């Protein structure tokens, strides 16, 4: 079961999540997970083969597609369109800002992928990505490029620290947990299958929630970077957000279910299925580009 830290007392009291060490996460592989792993690896090999013939511009088209879908998952909105009456000024301004967010996420993705040639996956790299993707007026008070120092909470608009559905780790716990996650990412002596590790890394990052905002977008980009660095993905052509968008309700509830149950098998199965579905979709999108 999840562990929590008690803070303050009385009406101000709240509990924050304490992540366990990533390497200490316990789970049991089963025949279902094994079958998904085998199928996903076959598809990833095919994805690598299909993407090897793409031009740089075509690869950027795929990265843009992922950026758009990742933004959609984060915002819950439709993609912005210019087909609006000229009189609807406020809506047009909102869509201009939405498009700016997508453009920034795309630029952050390009930066991150290029930076893997000289920088390891690290807090420094992710902070730089966060700064680029949050470089707009919407985020000027949310400390772009910096890990948070104060508690945050996840819930509806009326939630407080006390009534929130989830309160991520506070500063000290967050710093320690992220340091552990970095170590886990780069520990090549761990025998756990790399795709299972990707599932655990994604879960752990989202539970740590190191930024005030945009943690989902950074976490999905982290997944691409990890698979490029350690998972055998040869080019950044995996459109993971396609599958997560289709499963968006289950995506958030599944993350929380782990905390309530202390069991990771269902999350691993869910995430591997998402990678498998995203890989299949990515192959189809690549073949469209080649036509």
The SS3 assignment for 238 reads: coil
pLDDT tens figures, 178-216: 999 999 999 989 999 999 999 999 999 999 999 999 999
The SS3 assignment for 6 reads: strand
- CATH number of residue 190's parent domain: 1.10.3290.10
* Domains of the chain: total: 1
In whole angstroms, give the CA distance from residue 253 to residue 129. 26
What are 209's two structure tokens? 């929630």
Q: Residue 255: which domain range?
A: 3-14+22-290
| Residue 4: strand pairing partners | 17
Query: Is the pLDDT score of 171 beyond 90?
Result: yes
**Is the Cβ–Cβ distance between 264 and 79 less than 8 Å?**
no
Residue listed under structure tokens 């009385």: 10
**Is the Cβ–Cβ distance between 198 and 276 less than 8 Å?**
no
DSSP state of 13: -
Pairing between β-strand 14-18 and β-strand 3-7 as defined by DSSP bridges:
antiparallel
Question: What's residue 247's pLDDT?
Answer: 85
Would the pTM of this model clear 0.85, i.e. be above it?
A: yes
- Cα angle vertex 64, ends 247, 210, to 5°? 65
Nearest Cα neighbor of 224 from 103, 49, 63, 40 is 63
pLDDT tens figures, 59-80: 999 999 999 999 999 999 999 9
| Residue 15: strand pairing partners | 6
């Amino acid at each position: 079961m999840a562990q929590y830290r008690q803070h303050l007392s009385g009406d101000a009291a709240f509990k924050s999540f304490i992540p366990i060490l990533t390497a200490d996460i316990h789970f049991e592989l089963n025949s279902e997970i094994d079958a998904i792993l085998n199928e996903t690896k076959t598809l990833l090999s095919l994805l690598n083969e299909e993407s090897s013939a793409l031009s740089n511009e075509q690869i950027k088209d795929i990265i843009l597609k992922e950026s758009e879908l990742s933004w959609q998952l984060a915002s819950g909105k439709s993609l912005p369109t210019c087909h609006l009456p000229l009189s609807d000024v406020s809506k047009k301004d909102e869509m201009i800002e939405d498009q700016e967010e997508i453009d920034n996420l795309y630029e952050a993705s390009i930066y991150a992928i290029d930076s893997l040639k000289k920088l390891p996956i690290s807090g420094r790299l992710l902070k730089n990505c966060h700064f680029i993707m949050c470089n707009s007026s919407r985020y000027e008070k949310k400390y772009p490029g910096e890990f948070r120092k104060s508690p945050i909470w996840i819930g509806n608009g009326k939630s407080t620290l006390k009534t929130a559905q989830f309160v991520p780790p506070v500063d000290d716990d967050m710093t320690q947990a992220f340091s552990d996650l970095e170590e886990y990412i780069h520990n090549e002596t761990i025998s756990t299958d790399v795709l299972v590790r990707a599932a655990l890394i994604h879960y752990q990052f989202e539970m740590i929630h190191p930024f005030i905002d945009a943690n989902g977008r950074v976490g999905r980009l982290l997944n691409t970077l990890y698979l490029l660095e350690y998972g055998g993905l040869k080019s950044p052509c995996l459109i993971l957000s396609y599958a997560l968008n289709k499963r968006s309700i289950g995506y958030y509830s599944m993350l929380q279910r782990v905390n309530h149950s202390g069991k990771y098998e269902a999350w691993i199965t869910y995430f591997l299925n998402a990678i498998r579905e995203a890989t299949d979709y990515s192959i189809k999108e690549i073949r469209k580009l080649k036509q």
